[in-house]
């Protein structure tokens, strides 16, 4: 699922932003480059509403802001590495640097769950997380994610 969903245009080793809101907006900007987001304002509204209900800051420097939204017809996702450590109200209270955003249609669950399961398995590995943070280019980051 990672190979089918991620391309070099949907990953970045230099995600701009210095707070949670800026990071979410930068991730959404990255996803919007696909042309698959019909209504970016609605997508942003849905992601922020989900964040308000429950932070998507996980553990180990990872955050996965996501939403089910009418702004897309199929799963779209991106991965960004921030050079800065961002307070994302994480479960372990530690700042995040690895960010994954997913947008999926309100009526679909299969691809969304499969993508999150694959990325979660990958990010459980501390060595892999370190490699992702050290990636020198978007191409290297993509290679680490899909190989």
Residues with a catalytic annotation lie at 66
> 96: helix, coil or strand?
strand
Closest CA to 42 of 64, 78, 75, 70: 70
- Contact between residue 13 and residue 142 where contact means Cβ atoms under 8 Å apart: no
The Cβ-side half-sphere exposure at 76, using a 13 Å CA radius, reads 24
- Maximum alpha-carbon separation in the chain: 37
- Please give the structure tokens belonging to residue 59: 């553990």
Q: What whole-number distance in Å separates Cα of residue 89 and Cα of residue 77? A: 21
């Amino acid at each position: 699922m990672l190979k089918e969903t991620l391309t070099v245009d949907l990953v970045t080793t230099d995600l701009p932003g210095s707070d949670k809101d800026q990071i979410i907006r930068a991730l959404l900007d990255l996803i919007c480059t696909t042309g698959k987001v019909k209504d970016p304002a609605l997508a942003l509204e849905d992601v922020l509403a989900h964040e308000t209900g429950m932070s998507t800051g996980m553990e180990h420097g990872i955050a996965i802001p996501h939403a089910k939204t009418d702004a897309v017809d199929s799963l779209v996702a991106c991965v960004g590495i921030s050079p800065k450590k961002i307070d994302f109200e994480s479960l372990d209270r530690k700042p995040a640097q690895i960010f994954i955003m997913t947008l999926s249609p309100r009526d679909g669950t299969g691809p969304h769950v499969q993508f999150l399961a694959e990325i979660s398995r990958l990010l459980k590995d501390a060595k892999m997380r370190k490699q992702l943070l050290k990636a020198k280019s978007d191409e290297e980051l993509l290679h680490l994610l899909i190989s």
